[in-house]
Amino acid sequence: MAQTPLLIVCLLFTGIAATTAQNCGCSSDLCCSKFGYCGTGADYCGNGCQAGPCYSSPNNGGSVADIVTQSFFDDIINQADSGCAGRRFYSRDAFLTAANYYPGPCYSYARREIAAFFGHVTHETGHFCYIEEIDGASKDYCDTTRTDWPCVSSRDYYGRGPLQLTWNYNYGAAGQAIGFDGLDAPETVTNDVVISFRTALWYWMNNCHSRITSGEGFGSTIRAINAIECDGGNTPAVNARVEYYSDYCSQFGVDPGDNLTC
């Protein structure tokens, strides 16, 4: 999983204005593309969209808190069993606190990117049930070839947190960027909920953010998070991620775009 400067958090700039349409005359449910044609989807509602339900319009912008409401968060976590460790760990407040560490310029895929992030988080944690990978301690996630991030004896680098941060080189780099000892104290990701969310956002910004904003599609982010599932490796898992993402896009009122699977 990878350093950061901007995220879904650009949404802190809440007033994203749509530009005036030029010779489009589209109906209210269609976007006027940068070339002056009416339609839906990224080619019409994405970069350069002049009017209509553009991804960059006020209807699709807003602050992170406006989009990730308590109701939205609760609808996810309440699907986890009451006995799940994550039910006593993850919170919307912790996510919003973590998100505030990643300010940056706004971009047009705000709600779509948040839907993608939470689609993966929902799948990775089982609706915020799991804080760490099941049977993770029995697996060896020490890449000894990464001498820049040497493994510490008796420390395990299995999946932890909302995006299941894994491998010594990710713990080391995330710790350096965020400010905790990822190599010597990887368990911090399961002990400090804000740091836990920050590691997920750190990984997202380094590996997934540009894939969404460049229009590569949700499927590309699946490959960035768990490539083993792609190319027939685990089709049910891929489909589950796509289903969550599509559902959240629907809730946020944005089109999921193309290239949904990997």
Give me the pLDDT at residue 102, please.
79
pLDDT of residue 13: 28
- pLDDT for residue 210: 86
Are 9 and 100 in contact by the 8 Å Cβ rule? The answer is yes
The confidence score (pLDDT) of residue 1 equals 54
Name the residues annotated as catalytic.
124
Per-residue pLDDT in tens (0 to 9) along the chain, 262 residues: 543 333 433 433 223 223 333 347 787 667 788 788 888 776 777 666 766 666 554 335 567 888 899 999 999 999 999 999 999 999 999 999 999 887 643 344 488 999 999 999 999 999 999 999 999 999 999 999 999 999 999 999 999 999 999 999 999 999 999 999 999 999 999 999 999 999 999 999 999 988 987 889 999 999 999 999 999 999 999 999 999 999 999 999 888 999 999 9
Considering only CA atoms, which of 73, 62, 72 is closest in space to residue 193?
73
DSSP-derived 3-state class of residue 38: strand
CB neighbours (10 Å) of residue 181?
Answer: 14
The fold of the 1-14+65-262 domain, in CATH, is Lysozyme (1.10.530)
Tell me if the pTM is above 0.95: no
Which pLDDT score is estimated for 57?
A: 43
What are the domain boundaries of the chain?
1-14+65-262, 17-60
- CATH number attached to the domain at 17-60: 3.30.60.10
DSSP 74-111: HHHHTTS-TT-GGGGT--HHHHHHHHTT------TTHH
Q: In degrees rounded to 5, what are phi and psi of residue 70?
A: -60, -35
